[in-house]
Structure 1
Amino acid sequence: MKLFTYHGSSASYRVRIALEWKAIPREDVFVDIREGAHLEEDYLRLNPNARVPYLVDGEVRAGQALAILEYLEEAYPERPLLPADAAGRARVRELALLVVADIQPLQNMGPVRYLGDPLGLTAADVGRWYLHWVSRGLAALESMLAGHPSTGRFCHGDTPTLADVCLVPQLVNWTRKGGGSLDAWPTLDRIFAACQQIEAFERADPLRQPDAPKR
């Protein structure tokens, strides 16, 4: 199995967490999207969508993090990341999609760069854009999780699910690059702390990847 990845990509981070959680061996192929490696001819032949992550598993080819996560769940069912019941799976997918479909697209590198050039927004304007949309999404997540009977140590119950796999990279992005504090969302803060105690989440951290800048 090969995973085409970039340390700073939240989508790649999600897939790394799942692979670590399921203890699936892989070879990482690093694609430096900030230097334009995703636009090089060889990579475009493999993945015309020019995004990371991208998974190659034998004859299987898959892009889009959530599609990869669903594939891993079906092809490698050990240590599942989806609940056994239909209602639980629906809730976990709803929480995961709130992050990957509602929050992340509005903060991705491509759209954010486009706000500055060619649209001409200042860095301060772009910062306000980021804070508005991400905090709005995190507030919605907090409301959906706080006090819900299915919320446990993690987003759904007492073991990690795809919801946690999708949430943690978003919160890492927020705490390290954006708003900083999670004080306004105590349930998210508590779940984040619980996930950070798990070795699979720790090993997948962007700062621990071989292509991360050396500090």
Structure 2
Amino acid sequence: MPQLTLHGYYRSSCTARLRIALALKKIEYSTVYVDFANKEHRGEAYTAINPNQTIPTLVADEGDGRSPVYITQSVAALEYIEEAFPDNAVHLLPSNASDRARVRSLVEIVVADLQPRQAMITLEKLSNCFGATQDQKVKWSHDWCIKELRAYEKLVTAVGPVGKYSVGDTLTLADVCLVPAVQNAVEKWGVDLAEAFSVLATIYDNLKVLPEVQAAHWSRQPDAPKEKSGVDEVSMVKR
């Protein structure tokens, strides 16, 4: 079986997706901690394996004498995990083509429509190029959360009764991506999930009790700042 190494950062929602998926599928892996706060992802060593300087990177060594595969996009890494370990624990992509399409549509709402608009590089640009204040950046991120989570919820409810999770009663890649997106929305940008999204709130309640999800939370990672006692030091919401 491939030997996996995850290069990530404790507060990266993209890294969290992989932590959750790897845990759900009971896959062992090694971790390399990338100090995003101190711009380690922009250094020469990390750029050599991920020229786009994004986090995470999943390195897969197939053990066949060839060079390891560097997977530099989280969704590509999630699909690799599902394809390379098809018989591990759970299947995170449904067998039905229509359901797979629903899962991938929900995934894209999070990874293509929501996450890039609240990424730190985007917020830096808003400050550096347009002079955005902290309050303006919080509002920007909050408003995008509302818009895209509303789209996510509408797609979940469009096909009839809602199950325990995003697509029926089975965990999928959509749930893997939803969890850190909701955590960001609530913990960083002040979204009241229960008030704004009753369906997503119920789904998230079902997800957050899973041991694999709890273990993947940013505050429980070895590179998280322990002196903060669980307080998110990068949160921009005024509490």
Shorter-chain TM-score tier = over 0.9
Structure-to-structure mapping, 1:8-157, within 5 angstroms: 8-58=11-61, 59-77=68-86, 78=88, 79-146=90-157, 148-149=159-160, 151-157=162-168
**Separation of aligned partners in 2, 1:124 and 1:61:** 37
**Separation of aligned partners in 2, 1:93 and 1:180:** 24
Counting matched residue pairs gives 215
Deviation digits for residues 153-178 of structure 1, max 9, x if unmatched?
Answer: 00011121000001110000011111
Structure 1: any 5+ residue segments left out of the alignment? none
Following superposition, the deviation at residue 150 of structure 1 comes to 6.6
**Separation of aligned partners in 1, 2:205 and 2:123:** 28
- Residue 196 of structure 2 corresponds to 184
Let me know the Cα RMSD of the aligned residues.
1.2
Q: TM-score, normalised by structure 1?
A: 0.96
SS in 1 for 2:70: strand
Tell me if structure 1 keeps the 8 A contact 2:142–2:191: no
Q: Which amino acid aligns with 2:196?
A: A
Q: Which runs of 4+ in 1 moved over 6 A?
A: none
Q: Which amino acid aligns with 1:57?
A: A
SS in 1 for 2:59: strand
**Separation of aligned partners in 2, 1:201 and 1:172:** 11
Q: TM-score, normalised by structure 2?
A: 0.87
Deviation digits for residues 87-135 of structure 1, max 9, x if unmatched?
Answer: 0100000001101000111000001111011321122222221122111
Structure 2: any 5+ residue segments left out of the alignment? 62-67, 230-239
